[in-house]
Structure 1
Amino acid sequence: MENPYDYANKQLASKDILWATDMKQQQIGDCYLASTMFGLAATKKGSDILRSRIKRHPPDDDLPQDGWTVKIQVPGYDENGVFTELEKEVIVGQEYINGITQGDDPSLYSIYEMAYGIANGDEELGNGGWSEEVLDSFGTIPTAKYYNVSLIDAAGPNNATTESGNKTTRYGFEKKAMQSIIEAAQSEDNTVVVTTFSENYFFDEYTHKAEVEATYLNDHYFEEEDYVNIVAGHAYTVLYADEEGLTVRNPHGSNPGSGHPPLMDNRTVPETITFSWQDASKVFGAFEVGDLSKYED
């Protein structure tokens, strides 16, 4: 019988960029965690950081492995009574390893995900019904000591305006903000996560999706252009950006395709898509940039 720890242990032993394609959001509403971790895994620095915070348990190789020890950041009060991010060690034991992976062997992502559940006392993962406290804790990850986060609010007062009936919305990013996002996305010392608006004129009020025209690589690795639906209130990893547009990755592992007229097709397209800044400004607001250059374990 194959050792259930082998896959994650091979990831820990690797010196390469993880590019952890197994970081796929399942039934738990933690897109922010998945997007943040994929952003880390897509760079050499971030991959090393992820590996450095997971250790074999027990550490003695002569003893049989029964899990991993994981360092995570959790919100709490320090010794001075200041509410901040506290480092905590959590043991993810054998009894938990299949809780998130849907039967697959655990990966670094599922180990981290499980560690946050355990740290918040929410260990029953069978139905994905994590408490709001657990889900809220995922939002603290970018403020960990290795992930100094800054916020780029790309929407500005001079945006174009679209009107339809009684609805008015602004779109178009400020040039300075666009340049900051491009510089961040092209740097190996940064990771960039962006969250869509929870609602606005462009999102359908029933499906909570908005249509954009995007390009992606199809199954034969040819570039294809089509309409794709972006999900409201959802986090994406920004993998690249330039003057033409930006490339994002959906932690669901795919994107909902769109028929034309929109929202009439249930097919999916690949997880990584590229689209214009104009379309991006309709669905995205603030971008969070994590600076990995000053990390110290």
Structure 2
Amino acid sequence: MAKKTKDDTPIGPTGRPYQGFPIPAPLKAHGPARIIALCNQKGGVGKTTTSINLAAAFAEYGRKVLAVDFDPQGALSAGLGIPTHEIPTVYDLLLDTKRDVHEAIVHTHVEGLDLIPANIDLSAAEVHLVNEVARETILSRVLRQVAGEYDVILIDCQPSLGLLTVNALTAAHGVLIPLECEFFALRGVALLIETIDKVRDRLNPSITLDGLLATMYDARTLHSREVLERVVEAFGDDVLETVIGRTVKFPDASVSGVPITEFAPEHPAAQAYLRLARELVARGAVA
């Protein structure tokens, strides 16, 4: 049975009282977009799953969303059912900054959600960009062309702290860190925060930490509960109240090429991502 405060408010997994985040009010106009990089140098922590489902949740609340696949594995594109062969990708935009960004934007089957896809070609980008002037700002210059058309742009970063990730952090207004509730995932967060601080100091003074998102949480295991407790102790209110549980529905939805909010809309995982979208709006991370 869930713990409660004296006034009968349920206590959430983070040890804080659950707040009821309101459904966001409709927007009268779209743009300019707030750019959020989903970043963690450790793989398998839920970055792509969160990018797909958070983007779909924002779209469900009437926001115009652009998802940017910035991982050579192209998992975000695949998870939205977009084939990436023989079409312009983010790689083409990085290497040819005179190219019209709209050539690479794909409309997904989710209303209000567009995608800039990626494929394995992106793995060569760091080699090609290393001698470019202001190489850390190339993605920023690309996204600037379309920022006025969207309310939020989500960048799904690759699991590394290389030049591509630095580009994403330089372009972003905020960073969302998905963090698996597992000990080894916790160890790398300090290094990531240090990288964000360096980018803030040298390249992007306005970047903020929008929050740490606990993912793959299993309340039945002591390990999950202890890791989440330590994260809250270390980062306090930077840890989002919404927690994403572990479920087989995520890979099932990915295979189907649709967000979980569409694949199983009543499932607790789908409701969690809708709640996450409401929380980020309530925190002011998105309009």
Q: TM-score range by the shorter chain?
A: under 0.3
Higher RCO (C-alpha under 8 Å, 6+ residues apart): 2
TM normalised by structure 1 equals 0.26
Which structure has the highest helix share of the two?
Answer: 2
- Which has the greater radius of gyration? 1
